[in-house]
Structures are given as C-alpha cells and as structure tokens.
Structure 1
C-alpha cells in the first residue's frame, strides 16, 4: 500500500475548479516532485492534500486513512507538515522560538528533535537567538523546514522551496531535502527548478491544465524528449 494515494482529485477555490482528476501515489521514504507550467495546479495539489481548499470529487488516503478534506490542524496528528512558499516564518520571533512553535502540539520532551534540526541545518544553531526576519532568504527557508520537522512528520509538503533564492542557496536547499528524506521522511515537493528537482526525485509528476501529463521516475522524465521539450526548456 502506498503511503500517499490520490485518486481522481477534483478541487479548487470557491466555484473555480483547478484540479480535474489528479492521480498520485508515493511510497514511504520517497521524494515526489510535481512540476509543470504556471497554472497547472501544482501548488493547488499540495493545498488540497493539506485540507486548505474545496475538494469536490476524488479521495486522498494517507497511511491507510482517508484524509480527504481534513483540516490542517488535524493533519498534524497524522504526521503531515507543510512548508508554504511565502509567509512561512514568524519574523519577529527568534530562530529557536520558531522551532518551538513547530512543536506547539507536542506534550513530550522534544529536545532531541530540536538537536536533530540543528544538525541538519548548522547555520540555524549559530543564529538561534536571532530574529528570523533578519535572516537571508535561504536561512529563513531552513527555519521553515526545521519548524515543520518538529512534529517528526511522516510526510512533508514543500511548496516552491527554492523560489527567489540564489543559486548557492538553491543547491543547499536541495541538499537539505535529501537530508530530510534520509531521516525517513517522505517528501512531496512543488518546484519551478524542474531539472534540479527531478534529479533528486524518486517519482515525478508533470501536470498541465489540472491533469496528469506524465508520471514516471525523476530520471525517466529527465530523459523523456517530449517532457524536456514541453516542460523543461528543451
């Protein structure tokens, strides 16, 4: 059984339907990357998984449970976390306080998890007493990742994690995604830098007009001339 299974998903905003029958499956421990042109429904797919919009048809199952339409607050109990593209840190709080906010639902000792986050993101340990809003874009993204990891998720949803970052930080974020995955966390990621993202993906999903265009391994999609021509810039 797949950890995440999406079947015939139709969803959108209000009366506007964006997703028109999306299918997607991820096994535990995989990195899944969703790519496609603007307006294809990439970020909408993540928001649908995370209970942030109206689902009109289809289903989402996670770890054997039907989570279709469950609110984001309740999904934390299922060990699902999301890092949105924007407004993903508390700017006036310190790095350490941001991480503590990620653990607000926990009633146990999470110091071990905090130590693991600092191991994965060494720059954050040095800046743990600094306000998150004072950090660089790449470091703020690390804070957002770290906060999501505080619930020890089985699945983490990443919406455009390298958007607006310099090439140096872009590579570092992809390295951190791999490091998170090696902890046993399944990753579903939307990414505009499609070639770099597919290079680290176990599975890739190319969307267009709210529907699946291609589904394959990341490597196979990179080697597919039709995908390269239509979606990867040649």
Structure 2
C-alpha cells in the first residue's frame, strides 16, 4: 500500500481549474519529484495535498486514510509537513524560536527532536540565537526545513526549496533533502532545477497543463529523450 496516493485529482483556485486529473503514488521512504513547465500545476498539487485549495474531483489517500479536503491545520496531526517556497520563516524570531514554533502541536518533551534537527543542519546550531531574518537564503531554507521536521513527519512537502539560491546552497539543500529522506521521511518535492532533482528522486512526475505527461523513476526520466527535449532543455 502506498503511503501517499493521489487519484484523478482535479483542483484549483475558486472557479479556476488548474489540476485536471493528476495521479501520483509514493511508497514510504521514497523521494518523489514533480517537474514541468510554469503553470503545469506542480505547486498546486502540493497545496491540494495540504488542504489549501478546492478539490472538485478525485481523492488523496495518506497512510491508508482518505484525507481529501482535510484542512492544513489538521494535517499536522497526520504527520504531514509543508515547506512553502516563500514566507516560510519568522524573520524576527531566532532560529531556535522558529524551531520551537514548529513543535506547536506537541505536548511532550521535544528536545530530542531539536537535537536531531541540529545534527542534520549544523549551521543552525551555530546560529540558533540569531534572528532568522539575518540569515542567508540557504540558511533560512534550512530553518524552514528544520521547523517542518519538529513534528517528526512521515511526509514532507517541499515547494521549490532551491528557488533563488546560489549553486553552492542549491547543492547543500539537495544534500539535506537526501539526509532527511535517509531518516525515514518520505519527500514530495516540486523543483525548477529538474535535472538535479530527478537525479536524487526514486520517482518522478512530469506535469503539463494540469495532468501527468510522464511518470517513471528519476533515472529513467533523465534518460528519456522525449522528456529531455520537452522538459529538461536538451
């Protein structure tokens, strides 16, 4: 049984339909990467999973349970975390305070989880008393990742985590995605840097015009001439 299964998903904003029959399945412990041109419905897919917009048809199952239409604030209890592309840290709070905010639903001692986040992101431990707004873009992204990990998610949704970052930080973010996945967290990620993202993906989903164009392993998609020509720039 798949941890995440999306079937014939139709969704959009208000009366505007963006997704027109998206299918997607991830097993526990996999990295799934969604790529495609602008306007294909990539970020919309993540937002639909996270209960942020109107679903008109189809279903979303998580860990054997139908979560179609469940609102964002309730999904943390299902151990699903979402890292949006923008506005994903509290700029005036310290790094440590940002991580504490990520644990808002917990009523137990989460110091062990905090230590684990600092192990995955060593730069954050060094800057834990610094306001997040003073950090570089790549470091702020690490704060956003770390905050999402504070609920010990089974699934983490990442919306273009390398957007606007330098090549050095881009590489570091992909390395951290792999590190997070190796701890057992399933990852669903939207990425504009398609070649780099598919290189670390167990499964890849190429969307165009709100529907699946190709679905395969990351490696097979990279080696597919039609995918390369139409979606990977070569």
- TM-score scaled by length of structure 1: 1.00
Aligned residue in 2 for 1:157 = 157
Aligned residue in 1 for 2:202 = 202
Q: CA deviation at 1:76?
A: 0.3
Instruction: Report the secondary structure of 2:89's partner residue.
Output: coil
What is the RMSD computed on CA atoms of the aligned residues? 0.2
Aligned residue in 2 for 1:56 = 56
Q: CA deviation at 1:38?
A: 0.1
Q: CA deviation at 1:15?
A: 0.2
Deviations 1:56-115 (A, max 9, x none): 000000001100010111000100000000000000000000000000100000000000
How far apart in 2 are the matches of 1:59 and 1:208? 20
Alignment of 1:29-178 (within 5 A): 29-178=29-178
Aligned residue in 1 for 2:183 = 183
How far apart in 2 are the matches of 1:90 and 1:80? 20
Moved over 2 A (4+): none
Q: Which runs of 5+ in 1 are unaligned?
A: none
How far apart in 2 are the matches of 1:43 and 1:104? 25
How far apart in 1 are the matches of 2:192 and 2:65? 30
How far apart in 1 are the matches of 2:43 and 2:215? 17
**What is the total number of aligned residue pairs between the two structures?**
234
How far apart in 2 are the matches of 1:222 and 1:99? 36
Instruction: Report the secondary structure of 2:123's partner residue.
Output: helix
How far apart in 1 are the matches of 2:31 and 2:99? 23
Instruction: Report the secondary structure of 2:179's partner residue.
Output: helix
Q: CA deviation at 1:146?
A: 0.0
- TM-score scaled by length of structure 2: 1.00
Deviations 1:167-205 (A, max 9, x none): 000000000000000000000000000000000000000
Q: CA deviation at 1:225?
A: 0.2
How far apart in 2 are the matches of 1:227 and 1:219? 11
How far apart in 1 are the matches of 2:9 and 2:31? 20
Alignment of 1:206-217 (within 5 A): 206-217=206-217
Aligned residue in 2 for 1:218 = 218
Instruction: Report the secondary structure of 1:174's partner residue.
Output: helix
Instruction: Report the secondary structure of 1:158's partner residue.
Output: strand
How far apart in 1 are the matches of 2:95 and 2:205? 33
